[in-house]
Amino acid sequence: MSRLHRRISSSVSPRARSWSPHSAFAAATERARAGTLTLEDAHHLFDQLLARPAPVHVRSLNAALARAPDSATCRDGPALAIALFSRVCRQESGQRMAALTVHTYGILMDCCCRARLPELGLALFGRLLRTGLKTNEIICSTLLKCLCCAKRTNEAVNLLLHWMSDPGGVTNAFSCSIVLKSLCDHSRSQEALDLLQTVAKKGGDVVAYSTIIHGFFKEGQIGKACDLFHEMARQGVVPNVFTYNSIIDALCKARAMDKAELVLRQMVRNGVRPDKVTYTSMIHGYSTLGRWKEATKTFRQMTSQGLIPDAFTWNSFMASLCKHGRSKEAADFFHSMTAKGHHKPDIFSYSILLHGYASQGCFADTINLFNSMESNGIVPDCHVRTILIDAYAKCGMMDEAMLMFTEMAGQGVSPDVFTFSSVIAAFCRMGRLADAIEKFNQMISIEIQPNAVVYRSLIQGCCTHGDLEKAKELVYEMMNKGIPRPTIVFFSSIINSLCKEGRVSDAQAIFDLVIHFGERPDVIIFNSLIDGYCLVGKMEKAMRVIDSMVSVGIEPNDVSYNTLVNGYCRTERIDDGLILFREMLHKRVKPTTVTYNIILDGLFRSGRTVAAKKMFHEMIESGTTVKISTYNILLGGLCGNNCTDEAIVLFQKLGAMHVKFDIAILNIMINAMYKVQRKEEANKLFAAISARGLVPNASTYGIMIRNLLKEGLVEEAENMFSSMEKSGCAPSSRLINDIIRMMLQKGEIVKAGNCMSKVDGKGISLEASTISLLMSLFSKNGKYQDKIKSLPVKYQFFDGVS
């Protein structure tokens, strides 16, 4: 006796000696609905039915299979129903099964759509017509569904219009919605709207309107969607939760949270209760804009309504918090998941928070969270361990990273390409190319294929640390494996970094490598090389780069010329810089504000004040924008070349023009006013800093303290120093040394000693000039030898020094 036969027989009275097909059908139908009917049982039942002389109806079983949830015993109920029907059709004697009804055909056609066999559903409809059975609304709706699933939407539209024009047509609003949805799914929302307006008397319900509104939003036509929403209200169709959710979700994705809030209030006012989708959209919208207070409030409002967010919502919100550096707040939500009993954090939750902690360098929290996984029954996978390895590696803690890497294998977790990528990239950054290559070879030996990221890390490491032959070998290896080789942008970044470090020879070698691969250098790479040569003072080589640019058909731009002009000015070759400046004009490369600023600064530094003022007027006449940085150079240059009175007049004139100064300019002018003995004006300018919306910086306080000490106002200088510390401005080593020397020179030994005591523990050391002054004042024959005890004990070794 079969397993199914035994199960069914057990439910029949012991007196029954014959097997009942109807009872077997009933039992099988219940098991299909419960998700416990296996494929073997279903086919065995049909074997027995087909052997029976009496016909048996199969509609109830097919209906149960069509609606059965996926389970371990039957993954696809609709497909099974179709398979059973096919077996019936293949029998030689079709009399053993009862004649199929229109309802059976409807069920089977729906199964075909759900099993992604819409063409078979259309064939079934043709068979239905040949039987002479009369169609009904369900059959018509299912036929439209089959056409739409088969991507024959135009035929569905034509058929729907035909039925709608027939007074006795067998269709309904549901049929219309099927076609509308298909049009919208294929980005044909306008056609869907036209169809709706054509059949509005029969099809204009809330489902139809909502479907098209959602379609418009998907296509980015927000205006049309909103217009249709208002038209819907004018037609007296009440929006449902799906309608509102479509609008709110679209507005949130467009970051129009104020409008989304208005729609949400309207939704509640109209008696439509927000659901999980509504709140999730709002939370996502607030999170995207970094409005965490509103996002958190919405999250709590959601739970207070009895709507428990699913794990995806929890994890998404946590991920958003971590992405914006708010891991501590994410942790609060993480722990509330279990505390409130809503959800048990899964491995994705742990991954999100671990990555957040690691990104912010919270290693203690990272390790504690990692250790808590096992106690909560979560086994760390490769991804979780890679997060920790990557965090350690990026901070240069390679011993810890490699320990965890080694432990993975011992715990049965195999590293993947991302794990190796993190380790290799870290070794390359540290210049440990041998270790990086070793890990590269290891991953290949265990059949993990390196990806483009791994290759780029190795190539960058080789380029940065001088092994260009290996870099070349790796590039060819990438190409042979069909992996796209690094682009010109990749090499440009490396060249720029090396040039910034003054390693222009290494950068030039990589440039030559780029040419070797047949890449065409762009203006960015050339400008990086120009900057590198200028940085190390090799102006002739920088000019040769310009010639190389022109030879390959790339015209130097304003950045190229600005870099060269700046290089000449920094090497005190201002005349060469001016020649190049005129060449820009000749070649129709318009000088920018930066260009003029470089020239002005160079002229002032070389003491050519008249030429600088002339250049400034030329700048104005050319229509080039004069920025605050230009005024900074102009005023500082005038003051530095003993034209302080002229600078003050210009400063006052600019003030009358309501030019908004920065603190750097005020620092220049305060110092200048002290220099020409206009102390009251200097003090007033300092006092007015806050009124101008600015905050004194370390330079401001340093200027004031030095000038107060020069005037002998030691107490005022001490008060200013205290104000500086209270404001959070840390005094520089240079300022401390200046204060000590000035106090010593004025005989303020005790106060100088107090200042020296502040040096300890601040990473500030006494300069050679300060030590020299101390030795001269407190040595055996020094002026203040008798006051040596006023200095901190550690500095009293000067006593007796000759």
Distance of CA 434 to the CA centre of its chain: 33
In sequence order, which residues have a C-beta less than 8 Å from that of residue 449 and are 6 or more positions away? 417, 481
Amino acid code (one letter) for 241: V
Whole-number pLDDT of residue 755: 81
Cα separation, 773 vs 289, whole angstroms: 58
Q: What 3-state DSSP class applies to 682?
A: helix
DSSP states of 329-360 as a string? HHHHHHHHHHHTTS----HHHHHHHHHHHHHT
The Cα 787–Cα 789 span in angstroms is 5
* pTM given for the model: 0.60
Burial 37-63 (b: 16+ CB within 10 A, else e): bbeebbebbbebbeeeeeebbbbbbbb
pLDDT, position 610:
95
How much is the pLDDT for 7?
41
Task: Give burial (CB, 10 Å; 0-12/13-18/19+) of 545.
Answer: buried
Residue 770 CB partners (closer than 8 Å, separation 6+): 737, 740, 741
Which residues of the chain are modeled with pLDDT < 70? 1-100, 136-137, 144, 147-148, 153, 155-184, 189, 191-209, 211-216, 218-219, 235, 337-343, 759-763, 780, 796-802
What was the pLDDT predicted at 17? 46
DSSP string, 203-246: H-SHHHHHHHHHHHHHTT-HHHHHHHHHHHHHTTPPP-HHHHHH
| Residue from 190, 198, 195, 165 nearest 178 by CA | 195
Indicate the SS3 state at residue 795: helix
C-beta of residue 27 within 8 angstroms of C-beta of residue 11: yes
CB 717 within 8 A of CB 709: yes
pLDDT confidence of residue 696: 92
Q: Please, which residues bridge with residue 707 across strands?
A: none
